[in-house]
Amino acid sequence: GNSVTQMEGPVTLSEEAFLTINCTYTATGYPSLFWYVQYPGEGLQLLLKATKADDKGSNKGFEATYRKETTSFHLEKGSVQVSDSAVYFCALRDPINTGTASKLTFGTGTRLQVTL
Amino acid sequence: NAGVMQNPRHLVRRRGQEARLRCSPMKGHSHVYWYRQLPEEGLKFMVYLQKENIIDESGMPKERFSAEFPKEGPSILRIQQVVRGDSAAYFCASSPQSNQPQHFGDGTRLSIL
């Protein structure tokens, strides 16, 4: 079955540091890949997505590239801010032509804490 | 343009009681998904519904759990005879089509005494 593996947290960084959160996946075919962010007490917000190999999703300074050869979708940001402190979830969705097309499979999440 | 609305935000029940969680999708969205998040874990898919139809319930426990999305009104996730292990955050998401990104509500945090 499908699975998503994320690096364990928490990740603690100083403001303006470079961020990488690793995400690898197992799936058949070409799934769509997503990063969601969850702030304390809130639901998940879609951060960025990529639907095919070599696509780069980007939003709010975050970016991730769909790497089919390494089955990875690592999240990066060049300079983090205190306001980026949250839990980040990597997720995949099966290609639309499979019977399980719509449900999302999530990683366990990586907590990011940014300090001044 | 309201997002996905879930209520209540917090729900406390005693063991053996019933819990009803409600979800109103975003305007124009006819696809609804329910996920459960246990403490310090990721979200696990439970069920996917369209209006009046259950499309995929492969993540639903076989007993005590049920879901509906009637023609009128919100989607309901119902848990009968709750047990301590049902304590979790339950999130609803919606999308306009099955291949579009899912938008999440703020969740219902269920606590079982």
Contact B4 A102 (CB under 8 A): no
What is the residue-averaged pLDDT of chain B? 93
Contact A46 B45 (CB under 8 A): no
Contact A101 B98 (CB under 8 A): yes
Nearest beta carbon to residue A102 from set B35, B48, B91: B48
Q: What is the band of A99 on the pLDDT scale with cuts at 50, 70, 90?
A: low
Q: What are phi and psi of B15, to 5 degrees?
A: -55, 135
* pLDDT tens per residue, range B68-111: 999 889 999 999 999 999 999 999 999 998 888 899 999 999 99
Terminal CA-CA length for chain A: 41
Judge whether B18 and B80 are in contact, CB under 8 Å. yes
What percentage of chain B exceeds 90 in pLDDT? Answer: 84
Instruction: Give me the residues of A, 10-69, that contact B with CB < 8 A.
Output: 34, 36, 41-46, 49
Contact A45 B104 (CB under 8 A): yes
Which of chain A's residues have a Cβ under 8 Å away from the Cβ of B106?
Answer: 41-43
| Beta strand segments in B15-102, E | 19-24, 31-37, 43-50, 53-56, 65-68, 75-79, 88-95
Write down the pLDDT at residue A61. Answer: 97
Q: In A52-85, which positions are buried (b, 16+ CB within 10 angstroms) versus exposed (e)? A: eeeeebeeeebbbbbbeeebbbbbebeebeeebb
Cα distances (angstroms) measured from residue B55 to each of A27, A103, B50, B83: 21, 10, 7, 27
* pLDDT tens per residue, range A81-98: 999 999 999 999 977 655
